[in-house]
Amino acid sequence: MVTFRQRNPERLLKYLGKIFEFLPAQYWESLFFGALLAYTVALIYQAFQFSGAAGLFPLIVGIPLAVLLTAKTIMTLFFKDRIRGVGGLTSNILADKAESAGLSFGGNRVEVYRELESTLWVCVISLLIWLIGFLPGLATFIFGFMTVKEQKPIRAMIVTSIVMTTIYLLFVELLSIRLWNGIVVL
């Protein structure tokens, strides 16, 4: 029986890289941002169905996000080879780590793990908000994400408290917006 600590993430990355090597990494990245754009557009469409101030927050966040995702998708799909630094410093660092781990196939950097992990985090927050509601779902997500990524639970608690207090005071108290309560009653 293989325990969690005995699993080799580099072996998994190489395996996934071989599966997905038929398509260059920039197309996988564009596909991820395109899927995120489609999800954002669906949420914006739903926000127009809400009455009054209930659709305000999704529109304030969704419309600029849709514009940025459109630009990012177009840039990664068509201009990634011509424009240096499109993904920023973080993407270059991750690409260098992927290359040093032996994830270079036919000259294309395969960054499958990063896209799969990002997709998983988007699915987790969507599921949490749908199940337990916006405020508890977002609080759980922020705390969990920061704890996993930074491994500093005290900082995660502080940031989660600040973000949730700000969201509650601004949207629930000041704007009197009724946020999604979830399908599971807590």
As averages over each run of 10 residues, the pLDDT of the chain (186 residues) reads 56 66 70 86 86 77 88 80 49 53 48 73 85 88 88 91 91 81 75
pLDDT at residue 107 in the model = 42
pLDDT at residue 106 in the model = 43
Q: What does the alpha-carbon distance between residue 110 and residue 86 come to, in Å, rounded to a whole number?
A: 17
Q: What does the alpha-carbon distance between residue 126 and residue 181 come to, in Å, rounded to a whole number?
A: 13
CA 6: distance to chain centroid?
Answer: 27
pLDDT at residue 8 in the model = 62
- Cβ burial of 44 (10 Å; 0-12, 13-18, 19+) is middle
